[in-house]
Structure 1
Amino acid sequence: MHFPSGVEIAAVAGGLTAVLGTVLLVRSARRHTAASRRARLVLAAGAGVTTASLVVGLIGLVAMAPEWSANREQRVTLATVVAIGVVLGCVLFSVGLLRLPGLAGDTRTVARHLLDAVVVGAALWFVGWVLLSEPTRILGAATPTTCTAILLASVAVATTVGVAVVGVLRTARPRRGLILTGSGIVTTVVGGLGVATGVCQPGTAMVLASTIAVSIGLLILAWAVRFPDTLGEPHGDVIRRGTAYAFLPMLGMAVSAVYHLLWEGRFTAPGIVAGIVEGFALVARQYVALLDVRAYAHRLAESEAHYRDLAYTDALTGLANRRGLLEELRRVLRSDVPVVLLALDLDGFKYVNDMRGHDVGDAVLGDVGARLRQNLRPGDLAARLGATSSPY
């Protein structure tokens, strides 16, 4: 009679827990409405894809456990399948996060969030590359050098972590639900990457530990969905939007690069590409910020011009008011230019105003103002002083 081994029991328990977390996440997402519900369902889809890839990895683990070291080619193929599932899950998680209330916005807002996420993610990936490559190589023989698909999965995981970090930083308080959501997503995708890495290597401890991480992450996600959508509005204002977040990723990259050089490490193509991506992401982010500042300055100038027009223009006739006339007189007197001042009076206007009512009187003033504006020469100014009997 065959009794299940400890590996089989742990794999089945971890897989069932992950499936339970996904089911709870789907059921909890249905409690929300409108845009929030759609975003939560996208997160649930990401959890489903990640769980499916985890189950595939665990089935392969149980099947190949007796001859784990001998099945190298099968393990590489299985790790590739798990890594693809992790990538798809990361994409869905990122999309779901960016559609949550408090983060969703127009195309430019989403572009800003993605660039910020790339800045954070590229820095995280570079630091991880330094730790995993020679001479540090913290995983030793467990470093997944033979599974190229894991490289793509690590990029997707780093970007998703960046989206989660930026989402928390960019959302106004209260944001407890978003913090739990981001924590659950980060734990889930990192655990999924660990499963793919563990499958690729001759050992099961990393697979089981990563399975526990995925299960915990999915349970956190299911718990986070229970929180109401009180995430507030994103900091879209140029003045209120923080930018200090970029210093920490750059500091991490700089310290890692110096450490790598001091220990006589070599910069291979992946590390160089990560640095290039970080540089271009920062430049693109600064360009978007410059566009935001220009748009903000343009709106400010338009607002100032509008209020200036209100201060120096008569709202009824569209002519200059008393303040506008006095300002123009001061200007021409300072320039020592000859000036002619002509005053007009409307005969019988008081009678129209008294007998026909102020509505008719206002219509007469508006019509006279329009005719005066049509017949002004360049440099002339028509103004209404405000009196009813002698309005111009």
Structure 2
Amino acid sequence: MTLRRFGVVATAVCALVFAIVCLVVSGALDRPASVAVDKFTQLVFSVAAMVSYWRAARRRRGVARRWRLWMAASMASLAVGLCVWIWGQVVLGVALPSTTLAPIGFMLVPVLGLCAVLVLAHGGSGTLPGHRSRFVVVLDGLIVVGSLFVLTWVSLLESMVRAWATSGPGFATVVAHPALYLVMLVVLLVSSWTHRSVRQLPVLFIALAGLAQSGSGWVFAYLVSKGATAIPTAADIGFMVCPALFFLGSIAPGGTARERTGATRLRAGELLHLLVPYLPMLVTGLFIVVGTATGVRLNPFEIYVGLGVVLLVIARQLLTLIDNVKLLDQLRESRERLRHQAYHDPLTGVANRALFRERLDAALAGTSPVVVLFIDVDGFKDVNDNFGHAEGDAVLRVVAARLQACVRSQDVVARLGGDEFGVLVDGYPQAPEEIGQRVLDALGAPHATASGTHVVRASVGVSHREAFDPSLTADDLLGSADAAMYTAKRLGKGMVVVHGSVEADLGTDLGAERAGDR
């Protein structure tokens, strides 16, 4: 249904409900007729809401289907409760307070509605930890309701319940019915600030319906506690309006409200989410402190309920602490993962040029001998051209694994780019040419991959620093190793050249002669 069409239907429904309320309250009908019109109107809208939620659920999937099914069950419970109530109060004429099963149906309405809100809030995005997030929201609602209950009990409800308990129906129907709606409203309020999926038009009408039902429920409880055997029709206005609002919620167009991108709204929402469960408890605590200081004595029931609220707050804080610890662990893991990605090659898993340069600078700042190997994989282009880049990547991974296996764990193996690798040996235990030859031997064996076996060679250039030299930089050492590697390639590939050796000098001379010939 479009928003414009819904506006027309909502206007018509509101006008109809307003006319019925005026008719019932005006006194134009006698008492039995006004009660009959009142209750049958509620029943009609309840059944219409149930059917509408059911039909809407059948056309949808996933979360949109599940929360509407819960609301259809809630409306079915309301319709059953109204049928039982009508049978007892209208048909049989049973005087209040009633002992029928109708209150059970009425109390199931907010319970099932609460399930719908939780499904809608947590079934979609998955940005919060599922069951724990639901539990925290319910805890917030219970803390608020418990705090308000202690406040109203001390000031009003105790005398009301005491008066009504002597007449038979018991405590459950005194407070549970409107209190359950209050829990649903608080959970809905908290969820609307923490979950964007709740901020939509159908949920607004559910909240308004719960507010209307809860208001009349408290008035009903108060009047019956005073010994009333007939409730004035004016006190029933919330009951009359509630099913109509539920019906409008069933046909209202869905979709989340437009999200405000300003930081002020975000900070306000976070602040409200933190303060919602504690503000009512603070007000209640101050009220009790002032009351006890002026001579008010608390009975055991009030003390137990207050302790229960405190335990709920402690449970919520423990869950919050657990979530904070998990968030810190996730943050640390995320930072480590980002650091690893920033300093390691994504293909081979070895260090990248940035980490290699960082470790080389640190090694040159010390006094131990340092060896740098610059390695170029010979024949790698043929693998790429003949077998594809995926096979070339597999060969590079084999090369990196072999380089790591032939050096010490404290040495650094890095992919410097393309098919070029570097090895940093800090405090080498043997001659530089022996280290280079060990690397060359490790890479000389055929490279087996999932698609076959490839024979590739490597040219290794080695530069080293025997003693501390403050004038020697990382660029100097890398440049020397790079030059030695190119010398090895000019001399025929598949060999090791140490910077400053005869082979390196010969390679330089050969290169100059070939350049002169050209």
Indicate the TM-score class for this superposition, using the shorter chain for normalisation: 0.7 to 0.9
Kept in 2: contact 1:321–1:383 (CA 8 A): yes
Q: Relative to structure 1, is the Cα distance of residues 232 and 246 closer, same or farther in structure 2, using a 3 angstrom cutoff?
A: same
Give 2:360's aligned amino acid.
L
Q: Relative to structure 1, is the Cα distance of residues 249 and 200 closer, same or farther in structure 2, using a 3 angstrom cutoff?
A: closer
1-side partners of 2:292 and 2:187: how far apart? Answer: 30
1:43 aligns with 2:71: yes
Matches within 5 A, 1:359-370: 359=389, 360-370=391-401
Match of 1:16 in 2: 40
What is the aligned residue count? 373
Q: Relative to structure 1, is the Cα distance of residues 318 and 329 closer, same or farther in structure 2, using a 3 angstrom cutoff?
A: same
TM-score normalised per structure 1 = 0.80
Larger deviation, residues 348-357 vs 40-49: 348-357
Kept in 1: contact 2:68–2:116 (CA 8 A): yes
Write the deviation string for residues 145-184 of structure 1: whole angstroms up to 9, x where unpaired. 4322335625534433332332333333853432221121
Higher strand share: 2
1-side partners of 2:286 and 2:152: how far apart? Answer: 12
1-side partners of 2:352 and 2:320: how far apart? Answer: 40
Unaligned runs of 5+ in 2: 1-27, 260-265, 424-518
Matches within 5 A, 1:317-332: 317-332=348-363
Match of 1:167 in 2: 191
Q: Relative to structure 1, is the Cα distance of residues 390 and 217 closer, same or farther in structure 2, using a 3 angstrom cutoff?
A: closer
1-side partners of 2:421 and 2:400: how far apart? Answer: 13
Match of 1:26 in 2: 50
Match of 2:113 in 1: 93
2-side partners of 1:174 and 1:90: how far apart? Answer: 19
1:188 aligns with 2:219: no
The equivalent position to 1:112 in structure 2, one of 136, 147, 154, is: 136
2-side partners of 1:189 and 1:202: how far apart? Answer: 20
Write the deviation string for residues 192-237 of structure 1: whole angstroms up to 9, x where unpaired. 5655665565324546445331221111111122222213699xxx
Kept in 1: contact 2:396–2:419 (CA 8 A): no
Shift of residue 51, structure 1, vs aligned partner: 4.1
2-side partners of 1:191 and 1:57: how far apart? Answer: 16
Larger Rg: 2
Match of 1:149 in 2: 172
Kept in 1: contact 2:163–2:225 (CA 8 A): no
Larger deviation, residues 145-154 vs 274-283: 145-154
Aligned residues: CA RMSD: 3.6
Kept in 2: contact 1:54–1:192 (CA 8 A): no
1-side partners of 2:69 and 2:419: how far apart? Answer: 66
Shift of residue 144, structure 1, vs aligned partner: 2.5
1:256 aligns with 2:287: yes
Describe the SS at the equivalent of 1:177.
helix
Matches within 5 A, 1:1-392: 6-29=30-53, 30-32=55-57, 33-34=60-61, 35-62=63-90, 68=95, 75=96, 78-79=98-99, 81-100=101-120, 106-133=130-157, 143-146=163-166, 147-150=170-173, 153=176, 155-172=179-196, 174-192=199-217, 194-195=219-220, 198=223, 202-204=227-229, 206=231, 208-231=233-256, 241=270, 242-258=273-289, 260-261=291-292, 264-333=295-364, 336=366, 338-346=368-376, 348-349=378-379, 352=382, 356=386, 359=389, 360-386=391-417, 388=419
2-side partners of 1:233 and 1:276: how far apart? Answer: 41
Q: Which has the higher contact order (CA 8 A, sep 6+)?
A: 1
Q: Relative to structure 1, is the Cα distance of residues 113 and 150 closer, same or farther in structure 2, using a 3 angstrom cutoff?
A: same
Q: Relative to structure 1, is the Cα distance of residues 314 and 7 closer, same or farther in structure 2, using a 3 angstrom cutoff?
A: same
Describe the SS at the equivalent of 2:368.
coil
Shift of residue 8, structure 1, vs aligned partner: 1.2
1-side partners of 2:141 and 2:31: how far apart? Answer: 37
Shift of residue 382, structure 1, vs aligned partner: 1.2
Describe the SS at the equivalent of 1:267.
coil
Give 1:228's aligned amino acid.
P
Shift of residue 98, structure 1, vs aligned partner: 1.6
Kept in 2: contact 1:10–1:208 (CA 8 A): yes
1-side partners of 2:377 and 2:103: how far apart? Answer: 88
Q: Relative to structure 1, is the Cα distance of residues 382 and 133 closer, same or farther in structure 2, using a 3 angstrom cutoff?
A: same
Kept in 2: contact 1:46–1:90 (CA 8 A): yes
TM-score normalised per structure 2 = 0.62
Give me the identity figure in percent. Answer: 24
Shift of residue 185, structure 1, vs aligned partner: 2.1
Kept in 2: contact 1:171–1:231 (CA 8 A): no
